[in-house]
Amino acid sequence: MMNSDSIPVSPEVVTLEEFARTSFGEVIAGKLLMLIVALLICIGVVIVYSSGAGWAATKYASSEYFLWRQLSFAVLGSITILLVALIDYHVFWKTSKIILFASIGLLALLLALKAVGLISGAARWIGFGPVKFQVSDFAKYAVIFHFSRLVTEKQAYIQDLHNSYYPLLTLLMTVVALVALEPNFSTASLIGVIGFTMMYIGGVNLRHMLATASLLIPIGVAFALAAPYRVARLLSFTSGDEKGLSYQVIQALIGLGNGGLFGLGIGASKQRELYLPLSYNDFVFVIIGEEYGFVGAVAVIALFAGFFICGLIIAKHAPDSFGKYVASGITIAITLFAFINIAVACHLLPTTGVALPFISYGGTALLFNSLGVGILMSISRYKKKGVDKAIQPSDPQGSRV
């Protein structure tokens, strides 16, 4: 049985020819990933300033309020990527259990503070003064880290119902339930999707997951319908009449229509002028479509598609199972949130409070996603370091770390 503190090592052997074939793609994927993220962060700074200037002037008496905050978080995010890339990602193997239970404790604390009246409304943020973060972002990565460890440890009996599936399901449902009770149903649902996807990739019995889904989907539907505002969003989405659409959706569609093929130009958005609520956050993609047109919108979608492909390449060539699952989880999480946000902006899904990674205004999501990118780079870097050691003259055949 694997020691809980031991690091999983792949027994596979890689020849010099195989190394030559895989390393080129891996190097390109790592560099391209960094370029994509840099472009997305830069786009975020420009679009947040453009879309939030009017709101900032009205609310904070300074049109540059969002610009300087987003620029600060962009710099911090870039530093985070560079620093985390230098860390051995196996540190998250050793601390995954602590991180997960810390996130569960913080989520429970938020609900307790809400229960005693110290938090009003949605209980999503914790901290003091300007130093606050959204706990669900922390919990999302905690699930990725610990699931990667558990799936790796349980590979010998991964399809066992009692020793593998039930422990994974219990941890996932604990986090999902706590996030849903904040309430944050959209993020809770996406964390659930990420968890089940990682179990599927790890080899968990598909029949067990389908049986669970047949129970959870009706429960989720009932929970969604229990809140009037969620019902209103669903009715607005399913309405075939323009009069049935919500104000936010109508303004978003107008903005996308205004953009045409090439857009109105940088800073020329009409919807940003206090017509479209949260134009700098949940509906920032609308401003991209309005100012840069269909071409600009497709370019952003292509960047996220490229991110997804690069992340999968890094996962495929990870030096061990833990690295593979972590890279897969991070890649899936970031691209899933991106395409959900874009689908909502285009009225392909009901309105949710999901931000566009690296672009939407906000420091918590940007810093946690930067952490994820840094880990992807660490996994890619560790692979190259490991192979370099493996092909020393003392080991002419070479071996994968």
Tens digits of per-residue pLDDT, 287-315?
A: 999 999 999 999 999 999 999 999 999 99
Q: Is residue 55 part of a domain?
A: yes
Q: Is residue 11 part of a domain?
A: no
Mean pLDDT of 56-61: 80
CA distance 100 to 108: 12
Which residue's entry shows tokens 């200037």?
53
Confidence of residue 246 (pLDDT cuts 50, 70, 90): confident
The string of pLDDT tens digits covering residues 142-152 is 999 999 999 99
The closest alpha carbon to 283, from 333, 258, 248, 257, belongs to 248
Q: Is residue 133 part of a domain?
A: yes
**Neighbour count for residue 101 (Cβ, 10 Å):** 14
Q: Which residue has the higher pLDDT, 28 or 34?
A: 34
CA distance 47 to 66: 10
Mean pLDDT of 16-29: 58
Q: Is residue 400 part of a domain?
A: no
Any residues with CB less than 8 A from the CB of 191 and at least 6 apart, and which? 136, 139, 140, 143, 172, 175, 176, 179
Which residue's entry shows tokens 């975020």?
44
- Whether the Cβ atoms of residue 336 and residue 190 lie closer than 8 Å to each other: yes
CA distance 227 to 304: 32
- The pLDDT, as a whole number, for residue 24 is 56
| pLDDT reading at 268 higher than 50 | yes
The string of pLDDT tens digits covering residues 369-401 is 999 999 999 998 875 554 444 433 333 333 332
Mean pLDDT of 91-113: 95
The packing angle between helices 91-115 and 135-153, to 10°, is 140
Q: Is residue 267 part of a domain?
A: yes
- Whether the Cβ atoms of residue 279 and residue 286 lie closer than 8 Å to each other: yes
| pLDDT reading at 106 higher than 70 | yes
Retrieve residue 34's tokens: 């960094």
Domain that holds residue 71: 16-387
CA distance 271 to 51: 8
Q: Is residue 7 part of a domain?
A: no
- Whether the Cβ atoms of residue 164 and residue 118 lie closer than 8 Å to each other: no
| pLDDT reading at 75 higher than 70 | yes
| pLDDT reading at 242 higher than 80 | no
Retrieve residue 104's tokens: 């569960």
| pLDDT reading at 23 higher than 70 | no
- The pLDDT, as a whole number, for residue 13 is 41
Helix or strand (DSSP H, E) at 131: strand 131-134
Confidence of residue 236 (pLDDT cuts 50, 70, 90): confident
Query: What is the count of structural domains for the chain?
Result: 1
Q: Is residue 115 part of a domain?
A: yes
Q: Is residue 165 part of a domain?
A: yes
Within a 13 Å sphere around the CA of 317, how many CA atoms are in the beta-carbon half?
30
Q: Which amino acid is at 176?
A: V
CA distance 311 to 356: 17
| pLDDT reading at 346 higher than 80 | yes
Q: Which residue has the higher pLDDT, 56 or 187?
A: 187
